[in-house]
A = this chain, B = another copy of it.
Amino acid sequence: MTRDRFNLPDGIIYLDGNSLGAMPASVSARVAQTIEAEWGNDLITSWNRHDWIGLPQRLGAGIARLIGAQDDEVAVCDSTSVNLFKLLAAALDARPGRRIILTERGNFPTDLYIADGLARMVGAEVRAVPADAIASTLGDDVAVLMLTQVDYCSGRRHDMAALTAAAHRAGALALWDLSHSAGAIAVDLNGCDADLAVGCGYKYLNGGPGAPAFLYARRDLQDRLSNPLSGWMGHAAPFAFAADYAPAPGLKRFLTGTPSVIAIAALEAGLATFDGIEMAALEAESAKLSEAFVDAVEATCPALRLASPRDPAMRGSHVVLAHPDAYPIMQALIARGVIGDVREPELLRFGFAPLYNRIEEIGEAAAILADIMATWAFDRPEFRQRAEVI
């Protein structure tokens, strides 16, 4: 849709935006301005002069429209893991007497790790059940239902509206991890009445490696929630240097320490790649791309099994193919310029980023994959060597 907003290396078909989005063409200039003009020249005065202090909210407002939220319901700060800890703790605190964090078995590992760490700390319990048991496990002991909207492996999309409603019927809060959906599909947090959400900035939002993450809390909840990581940025009067903590009104209380202004500048360039883009149109384009890929693979690669839902409306913007030789197949693809990634032992993942992936390159990638599957000797040792890639 907007390929000219990105710089991608020649000869590469990049289908890994679901792990790390491509580089916006404007990002170097944007970051250089922050470094040279703001930091270098205006130094400490930039906190006011260039509104560094307002960056978490300003960037949050930029993300809000991509995920169906209001401007003052989203803030950019910390990592997804840290934000998840904050919101889960706030949810437990807001539902006294309920000690269960309910989640899905197979949820993204770091989400499970963070929930476990929190549960150990405060005497709560993480209950991880299969997807089809979520609704029936939602009892009056559940404080919060924590789910990832789009599964990092299969790409399967949860019904956010239905599961949020089920959580509410049980008296629980619903917390959504949007890491694989923000910027990829049309998320509608407000329309689903979602309570809380987190997500990362470095996948489909194109904010650069390890970009700051975001968090969301529905407006009417904000003043009733406590941030356990109560740092100075979330204080009602952050420059008063008062001895006692007083939470800022609204979502600002969920800020903690000083954010990296340089990292936020890069994310700002990433968000600018969405200027003028309607998310419904983006989701339609995503479906077109993934559909073209799946159609071609099904027609030409009988040995590959589709491990994602067949219906694009049931998945996010990535597609997974299963094969026992997933790793060497991906190495062969990369050697021919098609970059996806592998989730061991047998999943090949391909992410489709409508802002820069074009329909022609999808066909080309599928043809290269078909050629590899038809002719390649997977046991060539140079493709067997493992390298860690996230």
Q: Which residues of the partner chain B approach A36 to less than 8 Å between Cβ atoms?
A: 7, 23, 28
How many residues belonging to A are interface residues under a CB distance threshold of 8 Å? 92
Query: Which stretch from A230-238, A320-328, A366-374 is at the chain B interface?
Result: A230-238
A190-230 interface bits toward B, Cβ cutoff 8 Å, 1 = contact, 0 = none: 00000000001010000011111100000000000011111
Please tell me if A63 contacts chain B, counting CB pairs below 8 Å.
no
Q: Which residues of the partner chain B approach A9 to less than 8 Å between Cβ atoms?
A: 40-41, 43
CA distance A117 to B235 in the complex (A): 12
Please tell me if A175 contacts chain B, counting CB pairs below 8 Å.
no
Q: Indicate whether A389 sits within 8 Å of B47 (C-beta atoms), given known contacts A231-B113, A243-B105.
A: yes
Q: Which residues of the partner chain B approach A52 to less than 8 Å between Cβ atoms?
A: 209-210
Please tell me if A341 contacts chain B, counting CB pairs below 8 Å.
yes
By CB atoms of chain B within 10 A, which of A14, A200, A263 has the most?
A263
By CB atoms of chain B within 10 A, which of A106, A110, A266 has the most?
A110
Please tell me if A112 contacts chain B, counting CB pairs below 8 Å.
yes
Q: Are A114 and B31 in contact (CB under 8 A)?
A: no
User: Which residues of chain A in 244-302 are interfacial with respect to chain B, using CB atoms and an 8 Å cutoff?
Assistant: 244-245, 256-264, 266
Shortest distance from the beta carbon of A261 to any chain B beta carbon, whole Å: 4
User: Which residues of chain A in 1-16 are interfacial with respect to chain B, using CB atoms and an 8 Å cutoff?
Assistant: 7-9, 12, 14, 16
CA distance A333 to B251 in the complex (A): 37
Q: Which residues of the partner chain B approach A229 to less than 8 Å between Cβ atoms?
A: 81-82, 85, 114, 117
- Contact partner, A210, options B12, B109, B258, Cβ 8 Å: B258
Shortest distance from the beta carbon of A340 to any chain B beta carbon, whole Å: 9
CA distance A243 to B110 in the complex (A): 9
Q: Which residues of the partner chain B approach A109 to less than 8 Å between Cβ atoms?
A: 232, 235, 241-243
- Contact partner, A113, options B235, B258, B262, B387, Cβ 8 Å: B235
Query: Which stretch from A94-102, A118-126, A143-151, A166-174 is at the chain B interface?
Result: A118-126
For residue A387, which residue of chain B has the nearest CB?
Answer: B48
Copies in the complex: 2
Q: Are A46 and B82 in contact (CB under 8 A)?
A: no
CA distance A334 to B42 in the complex (A): 12
- Contact partner, A35, options B27, B47, B232, B259, Cβ 8 Å: B27
Q: Which residues of the partner chain B approach A263 to less than 8 Å between Cβ atoms?
A: 210, 260, 262-263
For residue A264, which residue of chain B has the nearest CB?
Answer: B210
Shortest distance from the beta carbon of A259 to any chain B beta carbon, whole Å: 5
Q: Which residues of the partner chain B approach A117 to less than 8 Å between Cβ atoms?
A: 227-230, 245
Residues of A at the B interface (CB closer than 8 Å) are: 7-9, 12, 14, 16, 19-20, 22-23, 27-28, 31-32, 35-36, 38-41, 43-48, 52-53, 78-82, 85, 89, 105-106, 109-110, 112-114, 116-118, 120-122, 128, 200, 202, 208-213, 226-232, 235, 238-245, 256-264, 266, 334, 339, 341, 343-344, 387-390
